[in-house]
Amino acid sequence: MMWTLVLMTFIFSGSVAGGIAGNTAFLDFPNEAKCRAAAGALEASERIAIAGTRPGQINISPPSYYRIIANCVER
């Protein structure tokens, strides 16, 4: 049996007028242990803010957030 890691990535803006983007990817593994190890390493949730490059510079972009969901399924 093969195991497939399903990666779902979501990115959404912290602004009121922002949107959401998503992506799905699939990776095959020869066994469950390797798939679950990869899922544990890749799953994440974080806030991203791009700071100004010069002192006193105003940020022109609101912070954004992303989440990576990783699930293993047997095929």
Which ranges in 1-75 belong to alpha helices (H)? 32-42
Q: Is the pTM of this model over 0.85?
A: no
**In the prediction, which pLDDT does 52 show?**
61
CA distance 9 to 64: 13
**In the prediction, which pLDDT does 59 show?**
65
Q: Which long-range contacts (CB under 8 A, 24 or more apart) does 56-59 make?
A: none
Structural domain span for residue 38:
3-74
**In the prediction, which pLDDT does 41 show?**
96
For the stretch 8-55, pLDDT in tens is 999 988 777 778 899 999 999 999 999 999 999 999 999 887 666 667
Terminal Cα-to-Cα distance of the chain (whole angstroms): 6
Number of domains present in the structure of the chain: 1
